Amino acid sequence: MKKSWVLLFLVVLFVGRCWGQAHPDPFTQSSRLPDISVGVGIMQNLENTFEVQGYSLSLHGDYYDFVSNFSLGVEMARNLDRLGQFESSVTNPTDLEKAREFEGLTYDHTVVALRAGKLMKNNLIIIGSLGFEFLRQYRFYQRTISNQAVERYYISTGKKDILNYYKLALMYKIRRVGLEGYISRRGVGVSLHYFVNQ
């Protein structure tokens, strides 16, 4: 999955550079590299339906047209603590329930979405995202060992779901850096962007 993230952003940068070569800057009469930003963010997962525990890491890549005042990009996100790495070796839920308390269902998730933005005055950018959220379901158990220690166990049910994903964000740009705050179907978060060709 990590390799696919890197490949995706390399493709965005390559396409953006080709676009810049094909659209010369009328002021300099020479080809101009496009305005591209790459970003990384953290999101707190708050949605209780199809619950994803903890925080998710997100990556963004955007192309900006400061003449027409719009932006286009892609983003990906996934939860930091992948439940598969904590999965119990016990595959029979009945055996696990004898010693642990069943807490409910929880999920790993991966988000893939397209982004579009409108550049406003005062270095503000309004961004909307639409895409898909891919879920993998787990049964969640835990047992209290002491007042400060809790054992957690996860068993994959094998069930997978796909949900629609949407997000609304506001970015403030200062020279080469952009700070973005957002609310999404899944939760709330912030991200930091670096403008490559500014």
The type of residue at 101 is E
pLDDT for residue 30: 47
Q: Go through 92-112 and write b for each residue having 16 or more CB atoms within 10 A of its CB, e for each that does not.
A: eeeebeeebeeeeebbbbbbb
Residue 110 has pLDDT above 70, yes or no: yes
The residue ranking higher by pLDDT, 198 or 38, is: 38
Residue 93 has pLDDT above 60, yes or no: no
Distance between CA atoms of 195 and 198, rounded to whole angstroms? 6
pLDDT for residue 29: 44
Supply the CATH number for residue 161's domain. 2.40.160.20
Q: What is the pLDDT of residues 119-140, one digit of tens each?
A: 998 889 999 999 999 999 998 8
Residue 36 lies in a domain: no
**Domains held by the chain: number:** 1
Residue 19 lies in a domain: no
pLDDT grade for 141, boundaries at 50, 70 and 90: confident
- Average pLDDT (170-174) is 93
pLDDT for residue 150: 67
Residue 61 lies in a domain: yes
Domain of 135, in residue numbers: 2-13+42-195
Residue 143 lies in a domain: yes
With tokens 């490949």, the residue in question is: 7
Residue 139 lies in a domain: yes
Tokens of 149: 């220690």
